[in-house]
Structure 1
Amino acid sequence: MVARKSGRALLRDEGLQRTDNNMDLSSWPQIPPINQKNYYTDYLKRDDQFLAFRLQNEEARNRMAKSAKDRDRALAMEKQNDLGMAEPDAEVDGDTNMEDAAEEAPTEAAGSKVIVIHLGSQNLRIGLASGALPKTLPMVIARKATSNESEEREEPKPKRLKLDDGSPMEPEKMFGPEFSSQYTTMCADLKVHMRQNKRRTLPNSKEMVVNYNRRTVPETISEHNDPMRVDWTEIPQAAPEYIIGQQALRIPDSSNPRYKLYWPMRHGWCNETDYDSKRLLFLDISLILEDAIKMQLGLTSKKEWPQYSCVFVIPDFYDKSYVSQILEMLMREFAFARVCFIQESLAATFGAGFTSACVVDIGAQKTSICCVEEGMCIDNSRVNLKYGGADVTETFIKMMLYDHFPYEEINLWRRYDFLLAEELKKNVCTMNEAGVSVQVYDFHLRVADEPTRKYTFKAYDEVHLAPMGYFQPSIFENSHKLQGRRKLIGRSVDIYDGQPNDPVSAAQSEILTAIAPPPANGQVNGESQPNMDVQSTPSRSQQPSAVNRVQELDATPRSSVAGSPVPEASGTPQAGGAGTPVVSGQAHGTSQPNRARPVEERDDILPSFPLDTAILTSIAHAARSDDRKMRDFLGGIMVVGGGSLINGFHPFLEERLQSLRPGFAKDIMIGTPPRDLDPQVVVWKGASVFGKLNSTNDSWISQLEYDRLGHRLMAYKCMWAY
């Protein structure tokens, strides 16, 4: 039996014992591993470690030091005067000259060096923060082209169907059976509602309108007899490459050379449909802003611009790519000293002087809803709908053509027809049922190089049903609004995980889920959904049933339906409670994983939803079952924007909301901007007030900060979670 060797013997006999000189294997320093239980770091955990906060604190310290020096100097001068000590002549003369200069120098008005910009789909509002009202000009640019916009598009606007041989169809059939069916249903519903309200209706009102419009002929008026003739834009011999603003809209369609209109913003988005490159799109935006600053504000020299700051209004539901591009434009091309951003709804509350409100902003092509509480927009209450006053204009023209409008050649792609349609809508449309009767109206058609024609026509319920599209948006023409979306400007993604990082809203997601078509097999993740689920909605054309859904969720005798019990959910409201008036049955914005839709898929869904239901959905997500908050927001609904300037719109909206939520009927109140302020300029006015708060506003971005950090500063400088 072989004896076992000890460890020392093994090292000696087997050659395993170390015999070197104990030198390290490498000259690189060896760092021992840290103790995982005790290590600690404060990296990026204090404000003084961020450049944005350091510069801000440094500026505050410099300001305090300057004020302390000025105070000490003033005290020393007072002491010398009390003791009767004479100062050197040079110092006395210098101080005297400084005091005289200070007295003679005029004090600048607050905000006189701040430019406020509110950029919309149809109009641009710009002005100095010290001004009372902004300058308003169309957000359009006309560029040289081989053909204008009406010649480029073969189909007129509104789109009309034609027979196989190319001849026009009858007015009752030219817009298709779907529009005819909806229009007829709306007419019948209005007649029933008017009878319930004891309003007198004539049984043959439609026939009177159609018969009169069929036989009326226009009257020709010579140019020297037309006191309201239009001054058209004259094209000089050396035609410019582009024309901006109101002058662009007044270029004759038959001009030589031809000009084509471009609208950089459409439906609250960048207009990716009419542009072929992102660079040209933002170039047009910068040209329009540059022309407005020079012509409207009088700042003709670009050398003066670095002395000014800029407050830019962005949508509540914004795209980060758009905000980053605008920030780069203002910093690089315009070289403003400082720039800050403010959201539309927050600016509206600043302009109206409200601390909390539900802001409903109805623009030309976009309607936004957001609840603001104590100077902050509630993220989950933000709603963005893609319709506005321009849709009402087009629908009104379609309804009039349906009833044999005498000017049947109207085409909204033509500039003079577009301006005429806008004027007709402002003068004729009303939401007051007392104004629904057969009335005679007239208008003047003014075309360049042609005599003026005066038309007379009759209208009945078209003046009321066209703005009713806000509450039945399926009557609007929505087929073109998603064309070109994401063609030029991609979705913003996080630099770390590559996931989309644009802002999201529970209220907007709820609406998109309600609008979305159902899955082909009626199942979600392999589970069949009950009939009350939104995924079981038969089709998009049945969106108005969402209003009935709101009434079902309100546990009142009026809203109960026999044989259809209220869905059992944690968010189901009790009698008189602040339940969620939503469509999908989810409890106060609580998302359910099996019903979530990917972001890419939601880009293919057009947010077009009844306005009254959308307002209640937004408020429900803002209140989150708090009865007091629900009543506060329902009693503080403020409607702004040019799309709300329809006669009788506010009481009509109030009546609709009360019918949907009878338990809160006494609390619902639609407010208007105070001090008789124009609803179209409330947002700009609030942004101008915000621009004057230099001492308390920490959201300014300076050139030095932008040079070092770029658009990453937005995460630290915005007052909201960017």
Structure 2
Amino acid sequence: MEAFGNIVIGIGKEIPKDQTKTKLTSESDLKAKALRRPRRSEGEGKAKAISRSRRRLFDDGDYLKSIVPSQLIAERGSNLVVINPGSAHVRVGFAHQNVPYNVPHCIARLVKGEQKKAVHDQNLNTQATPAQQMEREKAYDMIASLLKIQLLNEEAPNNSFPRKMGRVDGYAPQQNRNNPHFSWADVMEKKSNLSTLRDSKTTEAYSLELSKPLNGEGPDSDEFKFKEFICGEEALRISPSEPYRLSRPIRRGHFNIFQEYSLQQVLADLCTIWDWILVDKLHIPPEDRNLYSAVLVVPETFDNREIKEMLSIVLRDLRFSTAVVHQEGLAAAFGNGLSTACVVNIGAQVTSIVCIEDGVALPSTIITMPYGGEDISRCLLWVQCHHHAWPSINTTPTTKPIDMVMLNKIKESFCQIREGEFDAVAIVHSYEEDKPVGSHKTRLSALNV
């Protein structure tokens, strides 16, 4: 007998009658079995209740006929999960949600007994030669002249147009909340074989113990251990001194495969990240995922082999009952109620353009460029260093992910797409090992590039 999803195909073999009889169980056996069954926690009880309601949609054929239309609309899409993988972030959520969860697409695994080496962007030139530096200077001067940006030693003719300054707290009042400082992630967890802390310890003492620096003088190794892996934003806030290796499965719109990061490792990290999001964010345990269907929304940069591998993860490893693949450009057009459109998608690492006509993506119109928002953030840092506007701190977004998070926040709060010149005063944070977070108020220049 072979099973394909929900369809079972039999070979036609007759089953003996004695195997079809149901074995009766005595009342004492049922009571003993009930006593051996472990108690469910409150979270597990809610998950089981949700599973029973989902199962009712499939088992009861008259259920959809008996409910009112408003209830049907409220439950529509509740058993459909949308997964949109990207280079820097992955967006996952239910189909009826207005805003999905936007999680950094990275994972940090604990390194045991080997030299730690972070996985960087292989397509990124981190060390430019003097000739490349001169080429960058010429390109910047040309762009500055086109955008009418004055150099620091130049003044406007007759001072007719004074330099524009932004607010101290940002260009808009609400942008002050978008520039906070970050703290290092907690990489320790309590060992599962231990019970609660000693009665002499209070909750406040326990919190203080977790916040100690992990340099050998932190929590007791008999009670705490390093987490095996950390996903999402916490993985970007791990101190460089901790024994973790940061990996990004997708870079520049493709699997990040090279000599030290094989295809099997990429697929394993993708499965771990997506499974963590389903459990931690959507609260869908693995045993209930056969009641859900998945929509895999893929960018136009992936090839057929990469799409096949991701679809295998969704069906085989994550255990969804059914899955369908959609192009990102088509999903954007249909989501806005359009059948014909030109979709321009500016992502963190890739910019793509595709034309949609009568609900069909035209392959000849697809254009992909390997740069995006993160490159603008690094360009922002380079421009500030060029204008001597950046504080004298060690900011290396290519080796310290937390610096890239800070630069992205500054870019989102202050950068403008406009002609002329725009300056602003911002708070820049420095993150150094074994030092508290430093705050530096500085004047940022040429924020419109």
**When the two structures are superposed, what TM-score results if normalisation uses the length of structure 1?**
0.41
* Offset at residue 204 of structure 1 (A): 12
Tell me, in whole angstroms, the C-alpha distance in 1 between the residues paired with 2:422 and 2:98. 40
Per-residue CA distance 1:442-492 (angstroms, 9 max, x = gap): 32335565233222333333x223xxxxxxxxxxxxxxxxxxxxxxxxxxx
* Offset at residue 190 of structure 1 (A): 2.6
Tell me, in whole angstroms, the C-alpha distance in 2 between the residues paired with 1:439 and 1:140. 32
Match of 1:235 among 187, 193, 210: 187
In structure 2, what is the equivalent of residue 430 of structure 1?
416
In structure 1, what is the equivalent of residue 140 of structure 2?
183
1:147 aligns with 2:113: no
* Offset at residue 248 of structure 1 (A): 0.8
* Offset at residue 138 of structure 1 (A): 0.5
Tell me, in whole angstroms, the C-alpha distance in 1 between the residues paired with 2:158 and 2:136. 22
In structure 2, what is the equivalent of residue 314 of structure 1?
298
Instruction: Write out the 4+ residue segments of structure 1 that deviate beyond 4 Å after TM superposition.
Output: 98-108, 446-449
CA contact (8 A) 2:231 2:276 kept: yes
Is the alpha carbon distance of 1:318 and 1:158 closer, same or farther for their aligned partners in structure 2, counting shifts above 3 Å?
Answer: closer
Q: What secondary structure, in the 3-state scheme, does the structure 1 residue paired with 2:90 have? A: strand
Is the alpha carbon distance of 1:337 and 1:251 closer, same or farther for their aligned partners in structure 2, counting shifts above 3 Å?
Answer: same
1:159 aligns with 2:116: no
Give 1 or 2 for the bigger CA radius of gyration: 1
Per-residue CA distance 1:670-695 (angstroms, 9 max, x = gap): xxxxxxxxxxxxxxxxxxxxxxxxxx
Q: What secondary structure, in the 3-state scheme, does the structure 2 residue paired with 1:329 have? A: helix
Tell me, in whole angstroms, the C-alpha distance in 1 between the residues paired with 2:394 and 2:270. 33
Match of 1:361 among 339, 342, 345: 345
Is the alpha carbon distance of 1:114 and 1:100 closer, same or farther for their aligned partners in structure 2, counting shifts above 3 Å?
Answer: closer
* Offset at residue 135 of structure 1 (A): 1.0
1:253 aligns with 2:240: yes
1:277 aligns with 2:262: yes
Tell me, in whole angstroms, the C-alpha distance in 2 between the residues paired with 1:411 and 1:342. 37
**Runs of 5+ consecutive residues of structure 2 not aligned to the other structure:** 8-60, 164-178, 189-223
Tell me, in whole angstroms, the C-alpha distance in 2 between the residues paired with 1:180 and 1:414. 25
Residue identity matched to 2:90? L
The percent identity for this pair of structures is 26
Q: What secondary structure, in the 3-state scheme, does the structure 2 residue paired with 1:361 have? A: strand
Tell me, in whole angstroms, the C-alpha distance in 1 between the residues paired with 2:386 and 2:116. 30
CA contact (8 A) 2:377 2:404 kept: no
CA contact (8 A) 2:79 2:291 kept: yes
Tell me, in whole angstroms, the C-alpha distance in 1 between the residues paired with 2:86 and 2:291. 26
Q: What secondary structure, in the 3-state scheme, does the structure 2 residue paired with 1:348 have? A: helix
Is the alpha carbon distance of 1:376 and 1:443 closer, same or farther for their aligned partners in structure 2, counting shifts above 3 Å?
Answer: same
* Offset at residue 394 of structure 1 (A): 1.1
Give runs of aligned pairs for residues 409-448 of structure 1, distance below 5 A: 409-412=394-397, 413-434=399-420, 436-447=421-432
Is the alpha carbon distance of 1:290 and 1:345 closer, same or farther for their aligned partners in structure 2, counting shifts above 3 Å?
Answer: same
Tell me, in whole angstroms, the C-alpha distance in 1 between the residues paired with 2:77 and 2:422. 49
Give runs of aligned pairs for residues 91-106 of structure 1, distance below 5 A: none
Is the alpha carbon distance of 1:417 and 1:136 closer, same or farther for their aligned partners in structure 2, counting shifts above 3 Å?
Answer: same
Is the alpha carbon distance of 1:378 and 1:102 closer, same or farther for their aligned partners in structure 2, counting shifts above 3 Å?
Answer: closer
Is the alpha carbon distance of 1:317 and 1:136 closer, same or farther for their aligned partners in structure 2, counting shifts above 3 Å?
Answer: closer
Is the alpha carbon distance of 1:437 and 1:104 closer, same or farther for their aligned partners in structure 2, counting shifts above 3 Å?
Answer: closer
* Offset at residue 160 of structure 1 (A): 5.8
**Runs of 5+ consecutive residues of structure 1 not aligned to the other structure:** 1-51, 56-97, 162-172, 195-199, 210-226, 466-722
In structure 1, what is the equivalent of residue 231 of structure 2?
244
Tell me, in whole angstroms, the C-alpha distance in 1 between the residues paired with 2:149 and 2:226. 57
CA contact (8 A) 2:395 2:430 kept: no
Per residue, is there more helix in 1 or in 2? 1
CA contact (8 A) 1:317 1:383 kept: no
In structure 2, what is the equivalent of residue 202 of structure 1?
156
In structure 2, what is the equivalent of residue 392 of structure 1?
376
Match of 1:380 among 364, 381, 387: 364
Q: What secondary structure, in the 3-state scheme, does the structure 2 residue paired with 1:147 have? A: coil
In structure 2, what is the equivalent of residue 577 of structure 1?
none
Per-residue CA distance 1:172-195 (angstroms, 9 max, x = gap): x7962111121122223333899x
Tell me, in whole angstroms, the C-alpha distance in 1 between the residues paired with 2:440 and 2:412. 17
In structure 2, what is the equivalent of residue 73 of structure 1?
none
In structure 1, what is the equivalent of residue 89 of structure 2?
123
CA RMSD of aligned residues (A): 3.6
Match of 1:459 among 436, 439, 444: 444
CA contact (8 A) 1:275 1:281 kept: no
Tell me, in whole angstroms, the C-alpha distance in 1 between the residues paired with 2:102 and 2:118. 24
Per-residue CA distance 1:320-378 (angstroms, 9 max, x = gap): 11011112222211221111010011000121112211000110011111111221112
Is the alpha carbon distance of 1:318 and 1:202 closer, same or farther for their aligned partners in structure 2, counting shifts above 3 Å?
Answer: same
1:298 aligns with 2:266: no
Is the alpha carbon distance of 1:418 and 1:274 closer, same or farther for their aligned partners in structure 2, counting shifts above 3 Å?
Answer: farther
Residue identity matched to 1:159? Q
CA contact (8 A) 2:333 2:341 kept: yes
**When the two structures are superposed, what TM-score results if normalisation uses the length of structure 2?**
0.65
* Offset at residue 276 of structure 1 (A): 3.0
* Offset at residue 403 of structure 1 (A): 2.1
Is the alpha carbon distance of 1:228 and 1:377 closer, same or farther for their aligned partners in structure 2, counting shifts above 3 Å?
Answer: closer
* Offset at residue 277 of structure 1 (A): 1.6
Tell me, in whole angstroms, the C-alpha distance in 2 between the residues paired with 1:439 and 1:340. 46
